Amino acid sequence: FLSTDLVPRDAAGQAMLEASLAAAVETCVTADASLLAHIGTDAAVSDLEAIRLALGGDQITYVGFSYGTLIGLRYAQRFPDGLRAMVLDGTVEPEANLEERLVDAAASLDRSLAEILNTCGPDCPITGDPLQAYRDLAEAVRTEPLRSGDADVGFNAVGIAGIAVTYDDEWRAPFYEAIAQGQRGDGTLFELFAESFVEEFEFGPNFAVDCLDVPHPTTSAEVEALASQAADAATVLPDLSGAYVRIFALPCLQWPVPAPTELEPIIAPGAPPILVVGNTGDPITPFESAERVASRLQAGHLLTYVGSGHTTYGKNACADAHIDSYLLDLTVPPRAASCP
């Protein structure tokens, strides 16, 4: 699926993309169709409680990152008495359907990528304006791919590298160098970026859980309308924002298990304080999601990190100290606590 052109330019390209998607979903069905209804977040929450009880029933201390925040939130809603403490970092909004999540994430990704490209420092290896250089390169490879050994490197790799770099500041320098190499016709670094990200991200399980967990588009036309909405709002690379939507929405068209039609609000009455950590520059789980989740929880406390990258813990000593203090000593940070 991810090797097929994620930005089809005509009906034939769209058909090819959807056919590759259908084949990818069919591999899951063939492997174990009976399993597919039992791998969503609610099943994971039931497993977590079963593990807690099997270990003696002591209250647990839970830290969830990114998708792990959804497991935590649904656990807190169903089993508040099982919790001693909970930290949610990189918070996914539990009431949002897939369309809302993807449009918000595409906009956040676009902002992060613009900031990354606009802050290539004095030793920047890119010739010319970095943002325009990336745009030009992404367009040029549509007709004249870069080379990596004997392989062509096209838009998918260049675009996925633009997603990957937003996750961690340490990837900025290699990303800048990938663009510089691309300006010389060399796509080796872009290929490595894309392959590493796809391997690390585990797209298959992500598709399976999202398509089972939340209301989602059910027709190709709905997905394309959503992709166009994301592309129209983009400032860096509209094709990339549209491709991001397709990557995560198209699999659900073929998923054999129906999704719920509604999502219940999560308030978690009776739970201990839940520390919700929001990163103002998070490209995937926007800071606004953390704000909304913290405000809805009966015992929600927001900790703000003014930074970048996906999630916060391990990136900032101030935030780490607040999180550690809560996890170890149950000391909740002051209201409106913020770490620069």
pLDDT in tens, 145-168: 999 999 999 999 999 999 999 998
Global pTM? 0.86
Q: Which residues contact 104 (CB under 8 A, 6 or more apart)?
A: 93, 96, 286, 288, 289
Helix (H, G, I), strand (E, B) or coil at 84: strand
Q: What order of strands is seen across the sheet that includes strand 274-279? A: 60-65, 83-89, 274-279, 300-305, 337-339
* pLDDT the model gives residue 96: 92
Strands 300-305 and 274-279, bridge-based pairing: parallel
Which candidate, 133, 193, 192, places its Cα nearest to that of 168? 193
Per-residue model confidence (pLDDT) at position 223: 95
E strand residue ranges, the chain: 60-65, 83-89, 146-148, 151-153, 274-279, 300-305, 337-339
Place of tokens 């959804």: 70
Largest CA distance in the chain: 62
Tokens of 45: 């929450």
Assess contact for 322 and 329: CB atoms under 8 A.
no
Cα dihedral across residues 50, 52, 58, 62: positive or negative:
negative
pLDDT tens column, 261-291: 889 899 999 999 999 999 999 999 999 999 9
Among residues 210, 252, 258, 217, which one has the least CA distance to residue 24?
Answer: 252
What's the rounded mean pLDDT across residues 90-115?
Answer: 94
Q: Are strands 146-148 and 83-89 parallel, antiparallel or unpaired?
A: unpaired
Q: Rounded distance, CA 308 to CA 236, Å?
A: 17
Task: Share the mean pLDDT of the chain.
Answer: 94
Nearest to 138 by CA among 320, 45, 5, 16: 5
Measured between alpha carbons, how far is 115 from 280 in angstroms, rounded to an integer?
A: 13
Percent of the chain with pLDDT over 70: 100
Report the distance separating Cα 47 and Cα 59, nearest Å: 15
- Residue 92 DSSP class: P
Q: Is the backbone of residue 56 left (phi > 0), alpha (psi -120 to 50) or beta?
A: left
Q: What is the per-residue pLDDT across 234-265, written as a single tens digit (0 to 9) for each? A: 999 999 999 999 988 998 998 999 999 889 89
